[in-house]
Amino acid sequence: MKKSKKVAVSKLEQKNYKWIYLFLLPSILIFLIFYLQPIITVFYTSLTKWDGFNKPVFIGFKNYITMFQNEAFQISLRNIILWSIIAATLHVGFGVLVAFILYQKPKGWKFTRAVFMVPNVISAAAWAMIYKFIFNDDMGILNNIIRKFNPDFHVQWFFSSPYAFWAVTITWLFYAVIVTLIVLNDLMAVPEELTEAAKVDGATGWQVITRIQLPLCRNAIGTGMICSITARVAMYEQIALTTAGGPGDDTMSLPIILVKSIQDMKYGYANANGVIMFILGLITLAVINKAFRMNESVY
């Protein structure tokens, strides 16, 4: 009797799955047409010499050899590693901290939420231009405040080494609304029975956060890290509109090299950079997936 019931349930689940596949079909088609085909094209043309107009000429791994020998590319990798570390720690950490503060709903939390959320709806390009004026040596608010205490202070933040790297970092460091929203959503899903039981057993507020809430939010924190690090790999507007990769190569990045290669009609070389960015994204996804055990259930 039990076996027959299990067979009936299994057939019912298979029947329901057919409808799921039907609803997934448009997404699958969109992925195949607008994502998979371009990805295959990028991988193939990265092995060619191509100006974007004439037929690509296969040259093997020459673009990759040239790219890895390029000093600007090596500096780009260094910058991406540093930005990724900052993103995974300070950027994500700040977003998680704000999420926990908002979850506690202290006095004025709604105003805090509005102040934190509103700047994040402004585009990265707009923020880059705003910060370009904030860090301006002559009329920027930052240097004018510093000169109140040190009249001889003069620094062109976006055009002087090593300040340019940190000036670009500041343009995105404290804008972690995506991380905050993802973590806050997970926090609100934590069963109250767990926290209440812990408090009954004598757990302090800090222990509830570190032993219950943080572990249960690991998937959200991992997702936030993936979003933050991959955004650093693909970061272009903040750099292009402030330093354009300089001074020297202080803020050089793979997207900057990619766009410059396209402007020089080196589409094969540009796509080789695109492949490296794609691989870095996959590595980030795999490492964080493994570190945070995101494929495992948290409950």
DSSP state of 73: H
Nearest to 272 by CA among 34, 37, 49: 49
Residue 229, CA atoms < 13 Å, CB-side half-sphere: 26
Residue 143 dihedral angles phi and psi, to the nearest 5°: -65, -35
Q: Looking at 63-143, which runs of residues are DSSP E strands?
A: none
DSSP state of 118: G
Alpha carbon distance 181, 227 (integer Å): 12
DSSP state of 157: G
List, run by run, the mean pLDDT of 10-residue segments along the chain (299 residues): 50 65 85 88 94 92 95 94 96 94 88 82 86 90 92 90 92 91 91 86 86 91 94 93 88 94 94 95 94 82
| Burial category of 164 from C-beta neighbours within 10 Å (exposed 0-12, middle 13-18, buried 19 and up) | buried
**pLDDT given for residue 263 in this prediction:** 93
Tokens of 253: 């990045």
**pLDDT given for residue 10 in this prediction:** 57
Q: Which neighbouring-strand residues pair with 49? A: 57
Which domains does the chain carry? 71-291 (1.10.3720.10)
Nearby residues of 180 by Cβ (< 8 Å), 6 or more positions away: 95, 96, 98, 99, 102, 116
CB 198 within 8 A of CB 249: no
Place of tokens 């105003």: 111
Alpha carbon distance 294, 299 (integer Å): 12
**pLDDT given for residue 202 in this prediction:** 84
pTM (two decimals): 0.86
Alpha carbon distance 276, 208 (integer Å): 42
